[in-house]
Chain A
Amino acid sequence: MIESDAFVQALQDVGFDFFTGVPDSILGGIIETLMERRLYTPAVREDEAVAMAAGAYMAGKVPMVLMQNSGVGTSLNAIISLNVIYKQPCLLLISWRGFQGKDAPEHLVMGENMTQVLDSVKIPHRTISEQTLVDDLHWTAQTFMKERVPVALLLKKGIVKSLHP
C-alpha cells in the first residue's frame, strides 16, 4: 500500500500546488497529509471545489480537486460548463466507492457506472495502482498541460493508506 506522505510528495513533484475538495474515507490519509503540509483548502461542495480550482488555475496554480465519486454527480455541470469549455485544467482525484458492488447501497449505481460517466463527457481518466502510480501521474501532467482539460484519477480502496484501514 502507498503511504499518503509518498503519494502527496509525488503529486507535488509533478507540480501540483493547489489542493481543494470534499473528503471521503478513502481520501482521509491524503487529506490529513495535505493539511499537515498546509496545502489544503476545504470546500463545502464539489462544484464549488472545481470552480475554486478554475480560479486557482487562472491565478497561476496547478490545481487538484479531491472528491468521492458521488461528488462527480454534484459537480458535473460545473466541470463541463466551466473547466472543460473554458479549458481550465485540473486533476480530479476521485475515490471509487461502490467498486464491484462492494459498498453501501448509495454508492452502488455510481460505482458501477463510474468510468462510463467520465467517458460520456470525455474526461480522460486512469485508475491508480501501486505499480503504475508514477506513470499515472506523468500521464496526468502531460494530458493536463497538452490538452488543458480536467483529468481524472480514480482511487480504489486499499491503494493509498487511509486513516482507518
Chain B
Amino acid sequence: MRPEEGTMQSRARIIAALLEQLTDQPVIICNGFPSREAHKIADRATHFYMIGSMGTAAAIGLGVALNKPNKKVIVLDGDGNVLMGMGTLATVAALKPKNFVHVVLDNEVYGTTGNQPTISNVVRLEQVAKAAGYVNVERAIEREDAVYEFKAMLKKDGPSMLLVKVTEQCEDAGRVLIEPADMTQRFKKAIEQTS
C-alpha cells in the first residue's frame, strides 16, 4: 500500500470539528480516550459516553437508530472497538438504518492501554463496512475532507461510515465523572422529544 497523502490531525481536533456540525442529534462515543476527549470538547445531554463494554458502541447506536428513525444517530468509534465488534458492521448493513452515521477515528493503536498496535494499518475497516453493505463509505485524512464528508452523510440516507485517519496523540482529558446511571437518564430524556 502506498503512503496516503495529507496532513493527519489529532483525534481531538477531528472530534471537535465533527461535533461543531451537530445540534441535538444523539451521539454514542466509544470507551477510552474518545469519550474523555468528546466530553472535554463539548458536553451535551445528547452525548452518551461509554466507559466499558468495548466493541459495542455501534450496537448501542443501532438500538437507538432503529427506534428513533427520524433522527440521525452518530457513533464515534475507534479502530480497536470496530475490530472487536466487527460482526455489528454486518448487522448494521443487513438492517440498513437510513439514519445511522458511523465515524471511525482510526489511529491504528489501542491508545488507552499504551498504544499497542491494532491491525487497522493492514485491514481497511471502511472497506469491510462497504463489503458488508453500508450505503455510503468514505475515508479521509485532512480535517476539511472529514468535515465535508460528514456534512454530506448527515443529509444522505445511510447507513454511512466515515473513517478518519488520526494521529496517536491524546488530549489531556480526565475521566468522565458523570454517574453512568445519571448519564442514561440524561440521554434518554434528551432524545425523548425526537421521534
**Chain B residues with a Cβ under 8 A of chain A:** 28, 48, 50-53, 55-56, 59-68, 85, 87-88, 90-91, 94-95, 180-181, 183-185, 187-188, 191-192
Contact = CB atoms under 8 A, between A and B. Distances in A.
B62 A55 contact: yes
Nearest to A82: B53
B73 to A, nearest CB: 9
A1 interface: no
Contact of A55 (B55, B63, B90): B63
Nearest to A45: B87
A51 B67 contact: no
24 contacts: A43-B59, A44-B87, A47-B53, A47-B55, A48-B87, A52-B60, A52-B63, A55-B61, A55-B65, A57-B188, A58-B48, A58-B63, A58-B187, A58-B188, A59-B64, A59-B188, A60-B188, A78-B56, A80-B52, A82-B50, A85-B181, A86-B180, A87-B185, A148-B181
Given A58-B187, A58-B188, A51 B181 contact: no
Contacts of A41: 66, 95
Interface in A80-111: 80-82, 85-88
B60 A55 contact: yes
A54 interface: yes
Contacts of B184: 57-58, 86-88
A51 B56 contact: yes
Contact of A51 (B63, B66, B180): B63
Interface residues of A, number: 33
A52 B62 contact: yes
A53 B63 contact: yes
Interface in A29-76: 41-45, 47-61, 63
A60 B67 contact: yes
B128 to A, nearest CB: 14
A9 interface: no
Given A86-B180, A86-B183, A55 B59 contact: yes
A49 B192 CA distance: 22
